[in-house]
């Protein structure tokens, strides 16, 4: 019988609360496989997917390998722990040419043949069927794995497919991610989901200064992220009134700093209204004027809950590499401007003193502007 072996990641390090993490992982696995028929079983530090439609195996593998908490996957033949069946399965999966070796894990010590002896015997059977093959115990082109389990069953396979690792989504609390149309914020969202955080996104939209294509671009990014986050809702906040007020009443060089403070206030209010415990941004130290230590300090001063910046020590090449890996890069570089590019100052202040920022901001009715923005939110559940 063909099965899929699912191995989990850091969960094995957990102590008395391991069941909590396993339950979350199992729930997430079943969520991504909700369109398929299959049987699910637990087997020590792994799960087994059986009786699935083999024509859907690539889709099932693709869904499973993007579930945070999954370490690796293998498509295996499951046989009774009897030498003849093990050998037959190994012969079936053995390569047609090149070099190979057989590697055995004998978890069931009641099995009469020791691991090294079984590997040699099965390897001999493979060579007998295909003399063109050669054994290479140190650097083989292919490896046939034999995993003898305690329940009287054995798995035989040739490949371990790397998955995303991390912690199951839903085990790390809830966060609000500031999702722009750029490269960085989708990567920041991915990084926090990888640590088990359930995410909700907030996007600041300045229609008519920013186009509807810019808004759609962000929704498209959210759809791409959903493959990893499982669920995601986007709160689209109208930011036009705030940007207009800042442009009219504040010195040009402080516009970005003041704008970031408003965004943080609004994101925090949404967090508190929705039961989230943190705000997440895609900032990287020193990347742009609003991401200096002084600018970040100014933004942080209006927050009363944790602000996570998972990319703070990354350079742009690091971030682009992850964006390409997770599939968001091509959408992020589409040429639609977001609100952060509107009314850009020629020379933004890079080391704002907090006292100066607060003085500049004092000409604005901060509370009224924030309340108006919060009253003009479009909430979109990404399906």
Q: Which of 162, 184, 204 is the last residue of a domain?
A: 162
Q: Which of 226, 186, 187 is nearest to 63 (CA)?
A: 226
Q: Are residues 100 and 239 in the same domain?
A: no
Radius of gyration of the chain (CA): 27
**67-101 pLDDT tens trace:** 999 999 999 999 999 999 999 999 999 999 999 99
Q: Are residues 95 and 200 in the same domain?
A: no
Residue 350's domain spans which residues?
174-381
| pLDDT for position 19 | 92
Q: Cβ neighbours of residue 301 under 8 Å, at least 6 residues apart?
A: 261, 354
| pLDDT for position 345 | 72
In a domain, 295, yes or no: yes
Pairing of strands 198-205, 233-238: parallel
In a domain, 117, yes or no: yes
In a domain, 18, yes or no: yes
Q: What is the pTM of this model?
A: 0.93
pLDDT level of residue 338 (50, 70, 90 thresholds): low
Q: Which of 134, 162, 190 is the last residue of a domain?
A: 162
| pLDDT for position 291 | 86
Assigned token pair, 225: 């992220």
User: 276 by DSSP, 3-state: which?
Assistant: coil
Residue 342 has pLDDT above 70, yes or no: no
Q: Are residues 240 and 357 in the same domain?
A: yes
Q: Are residues 207 and 329 in the same domain?
A: yes
| pLDDT for position 10 | 86
**Per mean pLDDT, which range of 9-18, 131-140, 312-321, 338-347 is the poorest?**
338-347
Any idea what the CATH number is for the domain that residue 91 is in? 3.30.2130.30
Q: Are residues 116 and 216 in the same domain?
A: no
What mean pLDDT value characterizes the chain? 94
DSSP state of 159: -
Instruction: Give the orientation angle of helix 18-32 with respect to helix 57-64, to 10 degrees.
Output: 140
Q: Which of 116, 134, 162 is the last residue of a domain?
A: 162
Q: Cβ neighbours of residue 1 under 8 Å, at least 6 residues apart?
A: 50, 77, 78, 79
Q: Are residues 17 and 142 in the same domain?
A: yes
Q: Are residues 21 and 122 in the same domain?
A: yes
Q: How many CB atoms lie within 10 A of CB 56?
A: 15
Residue 339 has pLDDT above 60, yes or no: no
**249-283 pLDDT tens trace:** 999 999 999 999 999 999 999 999 999 999 999 99
Q: Are residues 145 and 254 in the same domain?
A: no
**274-314 pLDDT tens trace:** 999 999 999 999 888 778 999 999 999 999 999 999 999 99
Any idea what the CATH number is for the domain that residue 298 is in? 3.40.50.620
Q: Are residues 214 and 326 in the same domain?
A: yes
Q: Are residues 48 and 124 in the same domain?
A: yes
In a domain, 169, yes or no: no
| pLDDT for position 289 | 73
Split into its structural domains, the chain has a count of 2
Q: Which of 29, 296, 271, 46 is nearest to 168 (CA)?
A: 29
In a domain, 167, yes or no: no
Residue 323 has pLDDT above 70, yes or no: yes
In a domain, 284, yes or no: yes
Q: Cβ neighbours of residue 335 under 8 Å, at least 6 residues apart?
A: none
Q: Are residues 155 and 206 in the same domain?
A: no
Omega before 208 within 30 of 0, i.e. cis: yes
Indicate the burial class of 15 (C-beta count within 10 angstroms; 0-12, 13-18, 19 or more): exposed
Upper half-sphere CA count for residue 101 (Cβ side, 13 Å): 10
Q: Are residues 200 and 156 in the same domain?
A: no
**135-188 pLDDT tens trace:** 999 999 999 999 999 999 999 999 999 999 999 999 999 999 999 989 999 999
Residue 341 has pLDDT above 80, yes or no: no
**189-210 pLDDT tens trace:** 999 999 999 999 999 998 887 8
């Amino acid at each position: 019988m063909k099965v899929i072996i699912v191995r989990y990641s850091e969960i094995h390090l957990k102590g008395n609360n391991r069941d909590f993490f396993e339950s979350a992982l199992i729930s997430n696995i079943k969520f991504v496989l909700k369109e398929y028929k299959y049987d699910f079983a637990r087997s020590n530090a792994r799960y087994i997917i059986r009786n699935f439609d083999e024509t859907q195996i690539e889709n099932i593998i693709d869904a499973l390998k993007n579930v945070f908490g999954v370490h690796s996957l293998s498509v295996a033949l499951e046989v009774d722990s009897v030498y003849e069946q093990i050998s037959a399965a190994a012969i079936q999966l053995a390569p047609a040419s090149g070099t190979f070796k057989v590697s055995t894990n004998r978890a069931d010590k009641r099995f009469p043949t020791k691991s090294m002896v079984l590997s040699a015997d099965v390897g001999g059977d493979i060579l007998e069927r295909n003399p063109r093959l050669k054994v290479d115990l140190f650097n083989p082109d292919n490896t046939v794995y034999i995993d003898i389990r305690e329940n009287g069953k054995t798995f035989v396979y040739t490949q371990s497919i790397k998955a995303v690792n991390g912690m199951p989504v839903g085990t790390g609390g809830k966060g609000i991610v500031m999702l722009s149309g750029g490269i960085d914020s989708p990567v920041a969202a991915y990084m926090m989901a990888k640590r088990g955080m359930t995410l909700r996104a907030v996007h600041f939209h300045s229609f008519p200064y920013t186009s509807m294509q810019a808004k759609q671009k962000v929704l498209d990014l959210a759809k791409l992220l959903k493959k990893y986050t499982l669920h995601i809702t986007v709160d689209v906040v109208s930011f036009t009134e705030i940007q207009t007020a800042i442009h009219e009443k504040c010195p040009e060089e402080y516009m970005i700093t003041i704008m970031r403070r408003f965004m943080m206030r609004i994101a925090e209010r949404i967090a508190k209204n929705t039961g989230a415990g943190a705000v997440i941004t895609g900032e990287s130290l020193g990347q742009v004027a609003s991401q200096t230590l002084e600018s970040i300090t100014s933004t942080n001063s209006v927050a009363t809950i944790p602000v996570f910046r998972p990319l703070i020590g990354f350079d742009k090449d690091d971030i682009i590499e992850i964006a390409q890996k997770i599939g968001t890069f091509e959408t992020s570089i589409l040429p639609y401007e977001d609100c952060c590019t509107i009314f850009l100052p020629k020379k933004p202040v890079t080391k704002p003193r907090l006292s100066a920022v607060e003085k500049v901001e004092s000409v604005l009715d901060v509370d009224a502007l924030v309340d108006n923005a919060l009253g003009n939110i479009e909430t979109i559940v990404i399906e």
